[in-house]
Structure 1
């Protein structure tokens, strides 16, 4: 994935578009009738770092990729720049959609007599999510950032998660079926076993699906 190509395309598109009237630009893209909705889409795409490729829009003329390509052609951007930039953007979008890293707060919890609906309601408290841009960081930076989040989370909660108990460690799921154990201070636990988490969930008839040992 070429970040330079993405940046070059994004900057060139914005610079050239700023020199054109939005209505004239939309007509150059093939729209016979210009309305507020199409103007809004043009502005949204130009302001988006992914040029709208992650939006999944379709206006009966262009989908997201088609709109971006038509925009670049209407702006007379170099073909090589357009192809390299759009290819990089497509790869970036695919990567973002492929897997969303997350972190599980492990307290070694085992269910005793806690009500099912209470467990389900508190489930989100033992998961830490990351911003969309997190997954685009190099692997080593992801681990460092996850460690910082773990340390901050531990300090913020005083080492105890309501209902679930004392925090023992954090499990960072960084790729499909891949995880790392992090200590409360954010350090990677060497040779920590691969693990899976089970979520406390309710079925349609309010039956707990998984509520036993959190870390297998």
Structure 2
């Protein structure tokens, strides 16, 4: 998986003219690519375990703004995003003002080629991003699947808001430009992980019993 992360990081930066910036950012780009791969695998394994079949499968990487991380057995697309909340997991989940969001589609033309997905889900790592490789090689890692939302939910103004954010890719490459506007849904208004899996067809009671028996 580390080799795959290195390949993804290289593809993300292959069109960058700023070689010095690439050298300084390479390790961090690899860590972020690895976090994405781990998140994708965790969602795939969790949902397939809950549904007791190969509901989700991975897709091939093409370009960051065309990326569809997972696809369902009935051809629904899922985008997986991951984060390392600097103020901790409890802050990201529970702070009434600054709780984290499910990040949905772009709402401006910053990424005009982006493909809309059917589902958007998120994963949080409860430690510093800089610790990822050391933890993988040592004591292991934790990650939390923190739910998601359907594409339709982002059209509901009672659930979604617009938020300006700069992509990690642009931050690491020191690219100057306007922040992108995304539609986001706060965690408190989003679907939890079981609800996402339920929408991908499974019986809630069976899912809980499968966890109880492990």
TM-score after normalising by structure 1: 0.24
Higher strand share goes to which structure?
2
Higher RCO (CA < 8 A, seq sep 6+): 2
